[in-house]
Amino acid sequence: MHLRLGVRKFVRAGTAVRRLFLAAIVAPALSSNCMGQYTSGGANVEAYQSHIDTAAMSDAAEQASMVNVGSIPTGFQPWWNQSITSTLQPEATSKPVDIESLLIRTLEHSAQVKVFSDLPLIRQTAITEACASFDWSAFMNTRWDDTSDPVGNTLTTGGASRYNNNQWTATGGVARRNTYGGRFEAAQDLGFQNTNSTFFQPNDQGTSRIRLSYVQPLMRGRGQVYNNSLVVLAKIDTSVANDEFSRQLQSHLLEVTRAYWALYLERVSLIQKRRLLEMGVEIAANLEARSSVDVVGSQLVRVNAAVANRRAELVRAEMAVRNSQDRIQALVNDPEFALALNLEMIPTHMPIQDVESLEIGDVLTTALQMRPEVNQAIKQVKAACIRLGMSRNELMPQFDFIAETYVAGLRGRSDLGGAWADQFSEGTPSYALGLAYEMPIGNRAARARLTRRTLEVRQLQNQFRATVETLLMETKVAAREVRTSERDSVAKYVSMMAAANRLDNVVERWAHLPGVDQSVGLYLEDVLDAQSQLTVAEFEFAKAQTTYNLSLMNLKRATGTLLQHENITSGVGYSCGLPMTMLDKDGIASTSMAPSLPYVASSESMAVPDSDYLNDQTEVGLIDAGLIE
């Protein structure tokens, strides 16, 4: 009954207070149009459509002026593809590898990928931290005072020469800051006091008081937009970290692909040099067999010198293969590779020769929509605009509305229970209303912050333009490299065929000359030189093929679609109570993450929307707040 009466009193007292600060709670939004053109997706393409159209027309003119170099015959397979899948090292532990398997191993085991993937999870905790500023907090304190002071006024004690006071106080309650900037506090005070003053009646007092207070900013710090800004900034920062990880992951997977083709090329080089050595040994054996008939000694010396030189080149070639394997192992970090004795990685993925049809306009459009760097730059401008809006709010003076109400009870004989009950049955609630104003003279600190934030917005706007221009350039270079390397492969194929024909012709003429002919030495020199030239031409063709295949992967990275092309999806799981990232490629799960794709969180408290959803929701919130148009 007492409690019900007390609640009614608080309701009546609170009605007048609520009317006074209601207008302050519904604060106007901060206004800024600094975002303007900085939105994601189609808006970027529209803003740079003239650049794309110009690049497309220039590319068409460039294509029209190119000389037709022909094409590689359909079904052509170089001879070394048959040997490259065989073991080249004696007593080696063979491990067949291809690009697909290496990418899966990288996602599952790479320590560098795990380093990259932790960044979004670390930044994600800032969202919870920012939201926690609106959580309820509990407080409690207590104190005992035992004083004995001399008396300088007889009215203090009524006659005693010293004032003796025993007092105990305790306070407990809860407080919370809301999204409008106000702070609410509810507290219960309890106390006991006993003195030797004759004027202190009744003695052994038990006191109780319930307090409710609310402080609402009317100017600086008001409104949901300002007070939610740190939460929005934390979400944007997390989204930026997701984009950064997407960029780093794509770059790392490109490096793994580059290392695979480097291994393929080094093995090809080793096979070609072994074949070159075999051709030299064959000539040396032929001359040795005819040394007593028609072979001049200088010819045998020349061939032996060539054989020795070719054998020496194998030392470096074999080491290059091992170095390429170590490079893959360092990027992938698969323990199966590390524990293998005398490991030999055998590439099974052969270069493709299919011609890719590229439209430069489509490539640039895709890059503007998909490159994580563009999304990062946009979100950084958004964050800067939010900070600018906060600085504008902080230009206003500190002007707060203060309201407090309480009910109190008092009993003698240390009757704390009775005093607590009297709070709700005796008297009426007391209340106080007030205003607090503070404004730094000159307000230089706030003005300096506003200037800094304005300069930061301008800097990031220019950074956005620079980023887009750089990415457009990188994408055009990547697309041009695909075409150039494809044409280069055809040209190197023609060169290789010409070198093979020359060798056949020279060998045939040398074989039909008598050993005592004076020109036979020159033809022998031509044979050795033609063999070396053919080996060089074959290596250049293999190199052009690997460059072309690598350029295709690099184009995917340049357009920001490498993860989508490789069918990499992601999610968040938990291990030992901590979140961990999960990557999945073609249905094969691993323990890393690709944040450009949606999260799948196993706990609501750690769930974070995917990047596109977060970007859209942030933009909607900024528009609603008046921060962007």
Euclidean distance between CA atoms 347 and 81, whole angstroms:
10
Closest CA to 555 of 476, 501, 489, 610: 476
- Tell me: pLDDT of 568 over 50: yes
Length reported for the chain: 629
Q: How confident is the model at residue 596, as a pLDDT?
A: 39
Residues 6+ apart with CB under 8 A from 367: 374, 471, 472, 475, 558, 559, 560
Domain assignments of the chain as residue spans, ordered by start: 51-70+89-129+227-385+452-585, 139-177+182-220+398-438
Calpha distance 131→616 (Å, rounded): 20
Within 132-218, where are the H helices? 154-157
Give the amino acid at 365.
T
Q: What is the C-alpha to C-alpha distance for residues 536 and 561, in angstroms, rounded to an integer?
A: 36
Amino acid at 474: E
Dihedral sign (CA 56, 59, 61, 63)? negative
Cα dihedral across residues 303, 308, 313, 318: positive or negative? positive
Look up tokens 């309650």; give the residue: 173
- Which residues, including other chains, have CB under 8 Å from residue 115's CB and lie 6 or more apart? none
65-69, 283-287, 540-544, 622-626: least confidently modelled range? 622-626
144: tokens are 């005992």
* Residue 318 host element (H or E): helix 297-332
Q: What is the pLDDT of residues 294-311, one digit of tens each?
A: 666 777 888 889 999 999
- Looking at this protein, which amino acid is placed at residue 334? D
Domain 51-70+89-129+227-385+452-585 sits in CATH at 1.20.1600.10
Q: Tokens representing 338?
A: 């590390």
- At residue 39, the pLDDT reads 56
Q: How far is CA 470 from each of CA 374, 467, 478, 578, 579, rounded to the nearest angstrom? A: 10, 5, 12, 38, 35
List, for residues 161-213, the tens digit of each pLDDT value: 888 999 999 999 999 999 999 999 999 999 999 998 888 888 889 999 999 99
Rounded CA separation 401/184 (Å): 12
What's the whole-model pTM score? 0.81
The band of 17, judged by pLDDT with boundaries at 50, 70 and 90, is: very low
Query: In angstroms, rounded to a whole number, what is the distance separating the alpha carbons of residues 562 and 596?
Result: 11
How does pLDDT run across 429-478, given as a tens digit for each residue? 999 999 999 999 999 999 999 999 999 999 999 999 999 999 999 999 99
What's the pLDDT at 295?
64
* pLDDT reading at 15 higher than 50: no
Rounded to whole angstroms, how far apart are CA atoms 194 and 206?
Answer: 9
Max CA separation in the chain (angstroms): 146
Average pLDDT score, the chain: 84
Query: Do 38 and 378 touch, CB atoms closer than 8 A?
Result: yes
Bridge partners, 572 (sequence order): 581
Least-confidence region, from 146-155, 423-432, 509-518: 509-518
Q: DSSP letter at 30? A: P
